[in-house]
Structures are given as C-alpha cells and as structure tokens.
Amino acid sequence: MIEILIIEDEIPAQRLLKETLKEISINTEVITCLNSIKSAVNWLQNNKHPEIILLDIQLSDGLSFEIFKQVEVNSQIIFTTAYDEYAIQAFKVNSLDYLLKPIEEEELEMALNKFQKHQSNSVQERTAIVDYEKLASIIGNKQKEYRKRFLIQSNDSFLKVSVNEIAYFYSMQGVTFAVTFEKREYPVNFSLENLKEQLDPDYFFKLNRQIIININSIKRVHSYFNGKLKLETDPVHNEDMIIGKDKAALFKRWLDR
C-alpha cells in the first residue's frame, strides 16, 4: 500500500486524481487532499510524511516550491502540471516524475511503478538538492504556450494552417495527418504523442493511439459496448472514433469542465 498526499487547488482535479488512482493496478491510499501552500506547510509540520506527494506546481496562493523552503519534505514528489515539459526537464532528476495535465491512467501508473523500483534506495539517494528558487523563476517567467499554426509543404510551395482550422489528427502507418473542418487533409511532421504536448488541452484530446480530436468537431457521444464510447464528428473520419473504457471517464470530465 502506497500512501499518497494530494496537493492540488482545483477540486475537479483532486477528484480526477483520486478516481484515477482507484483504476490503476497498484494499491494506494490517499491520506488527504490539500489546496494551498499554507495548508500544505501546516499539515506537513504536524503529520508523518507520506511516501509520495502528488503536487501541483501552481496553487491558489503561489508556486508550490515555497513549501520546500518552509518544510523539509521526506516524501517522493510527482509534479502534476500544465507547464511545458522542457522548462522542467533539467530538474527531472530532482523529483520522482512529472505528469502533464490532463493526467492519464497509464502515465500515473508508470510513475508509481518507478517509485516502487526505487523504494529500496535510501532517502539520501532518492532525494536530491533542488534549487527551487531557480525552478520557480523558470516556471514563473515562462507560461505555457501552445502551437498556433503549422507550415505545410505541398509540392513546391508552403501552406499555413491554423490550429483552430484542424478538426482532428490521425496516425496511419507511422504518418500523422491533420484533417481540417473543410475536409482537407495534410501530413504533419510530428507523432501524436509530440502533438499532444503542443496542443491546448482545453481544445484537443488524445482519444487513443490513432486520434487527437478537436472539441469543436464533436457532435455527439454514444455509449458503446464494454464501457467504451463512440464519437459522432464533423467532418466524419473514415474509421470509427472509439474511446476505450480506461479513458471514457477522463474524456467525459474533459467535455464537462
């Protein structure tokens, strides 16, 4: 049983993390949920520290790195963030892991598996000295910027396609294509996993290994067998857009926020 403390200022995000933890195969227990630097410092000063803290970077009263200036934390940290991964990459060795929002079940389970593999290490080996002031400066000065357009090569010319013109992306035989609302189709030089990090998660959702959908192309969502969902879209894709049972709840919360 892995004891976990969640520090997240958005109630829906707290609920999503707790529900996702219940779905994974690793046995966990959420000790409590906190929503601010002040409440986190107070709790950590008066309670035994859990094995893992799921920690949002941006809290209601500031950047969560302030917690470490006031308390010596004896837990492994998994950052949960909507910020660009490259701003955090240099500091990755100083935390157990970081997860980009919206957090997916598979990614959370992988992070906890990583914790279990390193569990036998000493606290000193698992905890590095972190320059939180420098990290806070990087995060504070670099807000997440999402891709606005693509430059598409067509024969001997180039075409500019705005992201908001794209209804969905799909992958076929290792090639990624963008399909516009006007039913034009263009190849793009990114994998779906790379695109997921570049696109605004308020508008784009990775349905499965083949599709990233724009929320504005979704017309209706139908219940499908075994807890799956099937999408009705405009424009229509040449194959059914199916969401697996493992992502169905996350997808519905994404639509409903």
Q: Are 21 and 4 in contact (CB under 8 A)?
A: yes
More confident site: 219 or 101: 219
Please say whether the beta carbons of 171 and 191 come within 8 A: yes
Alpha carbon distance 234, 253 (integer Å):
21
What pLDDT score does 222 carry? Answer: 94
User: Global pTM?
Assistant: 0.53
Backbone angles phi, psi at 126, to 5 degrees: -85, -20
What CATH number was assigned to the domain covering residues 149-256? 2.40.50.1020
Angle at 8 between CA 6 and CA 14, to 5 degrees: 70
Q: How far is CA 156 from CA 60, 128, 153, 159, 190, in A?
A: 51, 52, 7, 10, 20
Length of the chain (residues):
257
Could you tell me which residue, 76 or 216, shows the higher pLDDT? 216
Reported as a pLDDT band with limits 50, 70 and 90, residue 10 is confident
Contact 109, 26 (CB under 8 A): yes
Least confident of 41-45, 73-77, 135-139: 135-139
Domain residue ranges of the chain, discontinuous segments joined by +: 2-141, 149-256
Antiparallel, parallel or unpaired: β 76-81 and 52-56: parallel
In angstroms, what CA-CA distances link 164 with 41, 179, 213? 42, 11, 11
Among 10-19, 87-96, 163-172, the range scoring the smallest mean pLDDT is 87-96
pLDDT, the chain, mean = 83
pLDDT at residue 92, rounded to an integer: 47
CATH 3.90.1150.10 is held by the domain 2-141: no
Work out the average pLDDT over 27-53: 94
- Within 8 A by CB and 6+ apart from 2, the residues are 26, 27, 28, 29, 51, 52, 112, 115, 116
Non-local CB neighbours of 42 within 8 Å, separated by 6+ positions: none
Are 175 and 201 contacting, i.e. CB atoms less than 8 angstroms apart? no
Q: 2-141 and 149-256 share one CATH topology? A: no
Whole-number pLDDT of residue 213: 96
